[in-house]
A and B are shown apart, each in its own frame.
Chain A
Amino acid sequence: MIKAERTIGKFSVAALGLALAAAVAAPAWAQVKVGAVLSASGPASFLGDPEKKTLEIYVQDINAKGGINSQKLQLIVYDDGGDANAARTFATRLVEEDKVVAMVGGTTTGTTMAMIPVFEDAQIPFISLAGAIEIIQPVRKWVFKTPHTDRMACEKIFADLKRRNLTTVALISGTDAFGHSMRDQCIAVAPRAGIKIATVENYGPGDSDMTPQLTKIKATAGVQAVINTGFGQGPAIVTRNYRQLDIAYPFYQSHGVASKQFVDLAGAAANGVRLPAAALLVADKLPDSDAQKSVVIAYKKAYEAAAKQAVSTFGGHAYDGLMILTRAAQRAGSFDKARVRDEIERTTGYVGTGGKVNMSPADHLGLDLSAFRMLEIKNGDWTLVSDSGS
C-alpha cells in the first residue's frame, strides 16, 4: 500500500514538473489575445452581429496565413447587449483576466464611452466601432475609431441639401447616445452650412409609433426636408410612419441604418430615402477607377460567403479596425502595447471599407468627407447618388 502511494507520489511530481516545463516553454505556442466587446444582441444587434462575424472570419483567415509577427491571434468576444454597464464590466474582464493586448469593439457610442476609461487606465489601444465624434474629440492617447463621425454625416447631408436648394429642415432623433449626439452635431454645424433647423423631435429607442412627432413636424411651417438620427428599429418605424402620413419632403437617414435589415424592416417606405454611407454598400456599382473598389469587393465576397448574409457597413468598420491593428503590429514588429499604439497613430494611406485612412496625433479617425458617399434606397437596394466629395 505505502509503496504504491509513494510511486503515485513520484509520478505526480514528475507530471507536475513536466507541466511546469511546458508552461515555461509555452510562450512559443502562446496566442496573442485581442479583445472585442460587441453588442451582438439587443437594440444594436444589427450593428454588433456583423461586427462579431467579421472579426471571427478575419482572425481565422489571418491565423491560417501564419498569424502576425509569427504569432497566432486569439479573439475574445463578449456580448454587452447594448448595455453600457455590461460593456464596462466586460472591458475590465478583458484587461484584468484575459490580459488582451488590444481591443477592437464598442459597437455603440454609449458602450464605447463607458469603456474608454478602462482602456485609458490600462494603457491598451482601443479601436472603437461607434459613430459619435466625442469618442476622438478631444483626442485620447489610446482611443481610435474607424466609422465616420456623426458630424461628418451631418455635413454630408447638409451639402446634399444645399445642392437640392433646400435650406430649412426638421430633425427627429432617437434618445440613444448616437441619435442624441448626431442631433447635437447637426444643430452645431447647421449655421456654418447655411441650413436652418426649424424644429427638433425625439423618440425613445423602444417606441413603436412616432406619428405624433411626425405630425408636429408636418404642421411646422417652412420645413423642406426631414433628417432622422438614430439606429436600430426606431428609424425603420419612423420611415414607415413617414410614408403613412404622406409627408412629401425629402427624407434623410443617418449611417446608423446602413444595413439591409433597415431596408427589409422599412419595406416599400424606404424608397427614396437618402443617407450618407460607406462605399461598401454599393461595391458593385463603383467605377473601376475608385480606389476603394477592390477592397470593398474582396470584403463583400468573403463576408457574404462565410456569414451567408448581405454586407453592412458595420462589419466593414470591424474589418478596418482589425486591419489597422494588425498592420500596425506588423510595422511595430511586436505586440508591445505602446509600440502598437504609436504605429496605429502613424497609419497612412490605408484603403479600407470606410475610405482612405490617414491618422495623426491630432486625428484618431483619419477619414475625410470624401470617404462618405451619398446613397439613395431604390426598390430595396442601395444606389449611388453622387461621387465622393461634397
Chain B
Amino acid sequence: MGITMAEFLQFFFSGLTVGAIYALVAIGFTLIYNASDVINFAQGEFVMLGGMITVFLGYAGLPLPLAAVIAVPVTAAIGFALYRFAIAAAREATAVTLIIITIGASIFIRGAAEIAFDKRFHSLPPLFGSNPIRVGGATILPQSLVVLGGALIILVLLWAFIDRTLFGKAVIAISANRTAARLVGIDTRMIVGVCFALAAGIGAVAGILVTPITLTSYNIGTLLALKGFAAAMLGGIGSATGAVVGGVLLGLFEALAAGYISASYKDAVAFVVIVAVLIAMPQGLLGKAKIERV
C-alpha cells in the first residue's frame, strides 16, 4: 500500500479541520496572555459553554441563530466575571498562582455545566449542510471550511481592533509595561477585564462553529484547553498570527501522525510538541525572544 496523493490529501484536510479548532482556542490564550501575562486554562470551558448554551437554548425553543447570538455575550460575561472575581481579586499574586486559579475556575465551570445542562453529547446542524466537498480524491466538510474561515476572520478583526482603535492601543500599552500604563491613566483593570470577555466570546464563537463537527458535552473543555495551549506555545505565545499558525500546524501533525504512524498516539503529539517547544524554542515560531535589559 503506497502513500497516495489522495490519502495524503485526506490526512491534510483532517489536520486542517482539527487545526482550525485549536487555532481558535489558541487565539483566546494569546489575547489574555498579552493583556495580563496569565495563561488562562479555563479557555477550553468557554468553547464548551458557547456550544452547550446554544444547544440548550435551542431545546428551550429559541431559533438557533438567536440562541447563538445570545450564547456569545453570556459566555463573554462569564469571562469577565472570571477576571473580576478570581484574577483581579488575587491582586499581586504570582503568575503560577494565577494559572492555578484558572485551573480551579475551569473545574468550577465544568461542574456548573454538568448540573445546569446534562452529561450527554449534543450536536448542532452544520451551517452549509453536510455534503462533503470532493477535491483530488479526498473530501472535506463545508463546516471545516467555515471553522477555518471563522478563525481567519476573527484574526483579522482582532488585529484591526488591537491596531486601529484606542482601546487596542491601551491593550498594547498594558502588555508592554503595566505600571507605566497605569501611570498614564489607563484603567488597567477594566481593559484587562474586557480582554477576558473578548477571549471568552471568541471561545464561544469557536464552540458554536465546531460543534457540528466534534459534538459538544460538558467536559470537552479540558483536552481542548491543553491542545490550544500547545498550539499557542508552538506559534509563539504572544502572537495572534502565531496562534493560528500553531493551531493549524498542530492539527496537521496530529492527523499525519494518526495516518502514518498510529492513531493511538494522536493525543501524545500535542504534549510532545509542548516539551519540544519549551526545550528548543520557548518563544515559539513567531514569538519574540524575551530580552532582559540589565
Known contacts A45-B120, A211-B14: does B139 contact A206 (CB below 8 Å)?
Answer: no
A246 at the interface (CB under 8 A from B): yes
Cβ–Cβ contact A208 & B215, under 8 A: yes
Q: How far is the CA of A240 from the CA of B11 in the complex (A)?
A: 16
Residue of A nearest to B21 (CB): A208
> What 0/1 pattern do residues 264 to 283 of A give for CB contact below 8 A with B?
11011100000000000000
Question: A41 to B114, Cβ gap below 8 A?
Answer: yes
Point out the residue from A215, A232, A261, A264 that lies within 8 Å of B10, measured CB to CB.
Answer: A215
Which of B7, B114, B132 is the one whose CB lies under 8 Å from A216? B7
How far apart are A341's CB and chain B's nearest CB, in angstroms?
A: 33
Stretch of B35-43, B98-106, B262-270 on the interface side: B262-270
Which of B4, B21, B120 gathers most chain A CB within 10 Å?
Answer: B120
A245 with B263: in contact, given A45-B120, A219-B1 (CB under 8 Å)?
Answer: no
Interface presence of A165 (CB below 8 A):
no
B213 touches A245 (CB 8 A): no
CB pair B215–A41 under 8 Å, yes or no, is no
Q: Interface size on A (CB < 8 Å)?
A: 38
In contact, A204 and B266 (Cβ under 8 angstroms): yes
Over the window 86-103 of chain B, the binary record of Cβ atoms lying under 8 Å from chain A Cβ atoms (1 yes, 0 no) is: 000000000000000000
On whether the beta carbons of B13 and A211 are closer than 8 Å, the reply is: yes
Q: Which residues of B contact A208 (CB under 8 A)?
A: 18, 21, 213-215
B123 at the interface (CB under 8 A from A): yes
B121 CB within 8 Å of chain A: yes
Q: Bits for B220-264, please: 1 = Cβ < 8 Å to A, else 0.
A: 100100000000000000000000000000000001001100111
- Shortest Cβ distance from A40 into chain B, in angstroms? 7
User: Considering the chains assembled together, what is the distance between the CA atoms of A42 and B119 in angstroms?
Assistant: 6
Q: Are A175 and B264 in contact (CB under 8 A)?
A: yes
Are A244 and B132 interface neighbours, CB within 8 A?
A: yes
Contact B130 A268 (CB under 8 A): yes
Beta-carbon contact of B132 and A265 below 8 Å: no
Within 8 A of A (CB), among B1-38: 1, 4, 7, 10-11, 13-14, 17-18, 21
Q: Does A203 contact B (CB under 8 A)?
A: yes
A233 and B7: CB pair below 8 A? no
Does B259 contact A212, Cβ atoms closer than 8 Å? yes
User: Which residues on the A side are within 8 Å of B17 (C-beta)?
Assistant: 209
Contact A212 B267 (CB under 8 A): no
Q: Which residues of chain A are near B263, meaning CB under 8 Å?
A: 201-204, 207, 210, 212-213
Evaluate whether A45 and B18 lie within 8 angstroms (CB atoms) in the complex, with A213-B258, A233-B217 already known: no
Known: A209-B17, A216-B259, A221-B1. A233 touches B215 (CB 8 A): yes
Question: In chain B, what residue has the closest Cβ to A220?
Answer: B1
B258 CB contact (under 8 Å) in A49, A212, A244: A212
Distance in angstroms between the alpha carbons of A42 and B213 in the assembled complex: 20
Contact of B141 with A by CB under 8 A: yes
**Min CB–CB distance B244 → chain A (angstroms):** 19
Find out whether the CB atom of B130 lies under 8 angstroms from the CB atom of A206.
no
Contact of B215 among A203, A237, A269 (CB under 8 A): A237
B214 cross-chain contacts in A, Cβ below 8 A = 208-209, 237
- The digit string for A35-47, where 1 denotes a CB below 8 A from any CB of B, is 0000011100110
Of the A-B pairs whose beta carbons lie under 8 Å apart in the complex, a sample of 16, sorted by A's number, is: A42-B119, A42-B219, A45-B119, A202-B262, A202-B263, A206-B223, A208-B213, A208-B214, A209-B18, A211-B255, A215-B14, A216-B7, A220-B1, A237-B215, A244-B139, A245-B132
Can you name 14 extra interface pairs (CB under 8 A) apart from A211-B10, A215-B14, A244-B139?
A: A41-B114, A46-B120, A49-B120, A202-B262, A203-B263, A204-B264, A208-B214, A211-B11, A211-B13, A216-B7, A219-B4, A237-B215, A244-B132, A245-B132
